[in-house]
């Protein structure tokens, strides 16, 4: 431990990329994670019987428009040509998200082109009808509160289009790692200067950073541990929204015909159903297997000990985050990032971008 040059706590996307950058600068890095695996919530599992790659913490689709991120990711994996499409099930009918001509025309039983739809959607009654069908129920379930109480940046993650494009993301580069996400992460941290220690947390005790019971040397620490937990929740715990998943193996080749279906009605308890084989159409064994694996996603309120998924961005959490960030300033060797450290909901590419942009010592 004495001869390390840096510690990276948290082997999710941000941490793995930071560790790799440090190693490529010649630093000897100790990379720790409190879990028994790397990859954070992008962790997958291959089902032996079907060869289906199960995204244990919900679907993760790699998509970006940032050239340096795409370049970095492609150093460690090739991607298949999967382009994400999401269907919405509402009152027994299926619609292509996001809001675009396919959805609008089907919902209102019309055959409008772009100009006509533009005019039609200026009507606030039409806007409201779409909002109530596709956002109100889903958002209330997802966040446990009415959409009016949610920061508008969350809903505006979903594009609104006046064309027939049914790609969920507008990014030019999309795909799933051909050999899977676990292999992608394994390769990122596969460097002779990266020493990986799992089941090990970063702990701050009496002003000293420790890992695995040992006091860390005075070297830069890059942490994506939850910022409140790192400081023993001294100002209180930050609120999160959590999720619960129910997995099922079914004796059919294809259950829903696509990777994700959102259930936008408020009284259906889950928000979406994932069917993972659709992420790897090139994998003949998994794709043509007479069985399939689906996963229902249920949002839930977060309690201490639950998996944190979505930061809840409101006035009181912003105030708490500011207090923790101020506390962090007392530790000049400490750098924080990642979803849990920054208390920000990052897409995977934004986490890589942040790690690539970080000034490393
Ligand atoms: N959303 C919705 N209906 C949908 C899909 C999304 O109301 O069918 C809202 C919901 O509030 C969600 C936000 O849009 O939290 C962002 O959706 P996105 O698909 O980006 O969520 P993620 O996949 O990141 O959980």
Alpha carbon of 146 to ligand 1 centroid (Å): 13
109: left (phi over 0), alpha (psi -120 to 50) or beta: left
**Which top CATH class is 6-79+176-237+308-357?**
alpha beta
pLDDT at 227 over 90: yes
For residues 4 and 219, the answer to whether their CB atoms sit within 8 Å is yes
Please report the pLDDT score of residue 154 as a whole number.
86
- In this structure, the residue with its CA closest to atom 2 of ligand 1 is 135
Please report the pLDDT score of residue 155 as a whole number.
82
Q: How far apart are CA 197 and CA 344, in angstroms?
A: 26
pLDDT at 1 over 80: no
Q: How far apart are CA 41 and CA 168, in angstroms?
A: 21
Radius of gyration of the chain (CA): 22
Residue-wise pLDDT for 294-351, tens only, equals 999 999 999 988 999 999 988 999 999 999 999 999 999 999 999 999 999 999 999 9
- Sequence-distant (6+) residues with CB within 8 A of 130 are 99, 103, 104, 107, 121
- Sequence-distant (6+) residues with CB within 8 A of 216 are 1, 7, 30, 208, 209, 210
pLDDT at 152 over 90: no
In ligand 1, which atom is closest to the CA atom of 134?
Answer: 3
For residues 17 and 76, the answer to whether their CB atoms sit within 8 Å is no
Q: Would you tell me how many other CB atoms lie within 10 Å of the CB of residue 204? A: 18
Residue-wise pLDDT for 171-205, tens only, equals 999 999 999 999 999 999 999 999 999 999 999 99
pLDDT at 2 over 80: no
Percent of the chain with pLDDT over 70: 99
What's the burial of 193, exposed, middle or buried (CB within 10 Å: 0-12/13-18/19+)?
A: middle
At 151, the pLDDT band (50, 70, 90 cuts) reads confident
Please report the pLDDT score of residue 305 as a whole number.
87
Which residue among 84, 132, 142 has the greatest number of ligand 1 atoms within 8 angstroms of its CB, and so is best to mutate?
142
Tokens representing 266 are 């408020």
SS (H, E, C) the chain: CCCCCEEEECCCHHHHHHHHHHHHCCCCEEEECCCCCCCHHHCEEECCCCCCEEECCCCCCEEECCHHHHHHHHHHCCECCCCCCEEEEECCEEEECCECHHHHHHHHCCCCCHHHHHHHCCCHHHHHHHHHHHHHHHHHHHHCCCHHHCCHHHHCCCCECCCCCCCCCCCCEEECECCCHHHHHHHHCCCCCEEEECCCCEEEECCEEEECCEECCCCCEEECCCHHHHCCCCCCCCCEEEEEEEEEEECCCCCCCCCEEEECCCCCCCCEEEEHHHHCCCCHHHHCCCCEEEEEEEEEECCCCCCCCEECCCHHHHHHHHHHHHHHCCCCCEEECHHHHHCCCCCHHHHHHHHHHCCCC
For residues 154 and 147, the answer to whether their CB atoms sit within 8 Å is no
Residue with tokens 């089941």: 199
Of 46-50, 108-112, 149-153, 293-297, the range with the lowest mean pLDDT is 149-153
pLDDT at 267 over 90: yes
At 238, the pLDDT band (50, 70, 90 cuts) reads very high
In ligand 1, which atom is closest to the CA atom of 136?
Answer: 7
Residue-wise pLDDT for 90-139, tens only, equals 999 999 999 999 999 999 999 999 999 999 999 999 999 999 999 999 99
Which residues are catalytically annotated?
Answer: 157, 161, 241, 272, 297, 345, 347
At 10, the pLDDT band (50, 70, 90 cuts) reads very high
Please report the pLDDT score of residue 209 as a whole number.
97
- For the chain, the structural domain boundaries read 6-79+176-237+308-357, 86-166
Residue with tokens 């300033």: 329
Please report the pLDDT score of residue 273 as a whole number.
98
- In this structure, the residue with its CA closest to atom 19 of ligand 1 is 158
Alpha carbon of 139 to ligand 1 centroid (Å): 7
């Amino acid at each position: 431990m004495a001869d390390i040059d840096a510690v990276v706590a948290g082997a999710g996307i941000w941490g793995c990329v930071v560790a790799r950058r440090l190693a490529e600068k010649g630093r000897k890095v100790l990379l720790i994670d409190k879990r028994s695996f790397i990859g954070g919530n992008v962790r997958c599992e291959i089902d032996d019987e079907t060869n289906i790659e199960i995204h244990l913490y919900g679907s993760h689709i790699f998509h970006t428009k940032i050239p340096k991120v795409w370049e970095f990711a492609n150093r460690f994996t090739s991607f298949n040509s999967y382009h994400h499409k999401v269907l919405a099930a509402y009152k027994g009918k299926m619609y292509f998200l996001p809001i675009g001509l396919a959805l609008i025309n089907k919902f209102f039983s019309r055959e409008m082109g772009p100009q006509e739809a533009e005019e039609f959607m200026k009507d606030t009654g039409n806007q409201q009808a779409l909002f109530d069908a596709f956002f109100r129920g889903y958002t209330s379930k997802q966040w446990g509160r009415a959409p009016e109480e949610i920061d508008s940046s969350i809903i505006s993650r979903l594009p609104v289009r006046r064309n027939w494009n049914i790609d969920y993301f507008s990014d030019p580069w999309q795909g799933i790692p051909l050999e899977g996400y676990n292999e992608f992460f394994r390769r990122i941290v596969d460097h002779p200067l990266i020493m990986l220690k799992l089941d090990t947390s970063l702990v701050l005790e009496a002003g000293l950073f420790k890992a695995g019971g040992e006091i860390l040397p005075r070297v830069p620490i890059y942490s994506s541990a939850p910022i409140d937990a790192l400081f023993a929740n001294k100002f209180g715990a930050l609120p999160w929204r959590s999720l619960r998943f129910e997995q099922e193996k079914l004796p059919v080749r294809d259950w829903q015909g696509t990777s994700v279906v959102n259930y936008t009605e408020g009284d259906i308890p889950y928000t979406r159903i994932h069917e993972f084989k659709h992420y790897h159409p090139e994998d003949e064994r998994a794709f043509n297997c007479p069985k399939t694996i689906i996963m229902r996603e249920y949002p839930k309120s977060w309690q201490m000990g639950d998996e944190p998924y979505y930061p809840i961005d409101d006035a009181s959490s912003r105030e708490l985050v500011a207090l923790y960030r101020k506390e962090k300033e007392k530790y000049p060797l400490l750098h924080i990032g990642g979803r849990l450290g920054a208390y920000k909901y990052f897409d995977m590419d934004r986490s890589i971008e942040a790690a690539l942009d970080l000034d490393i010592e």
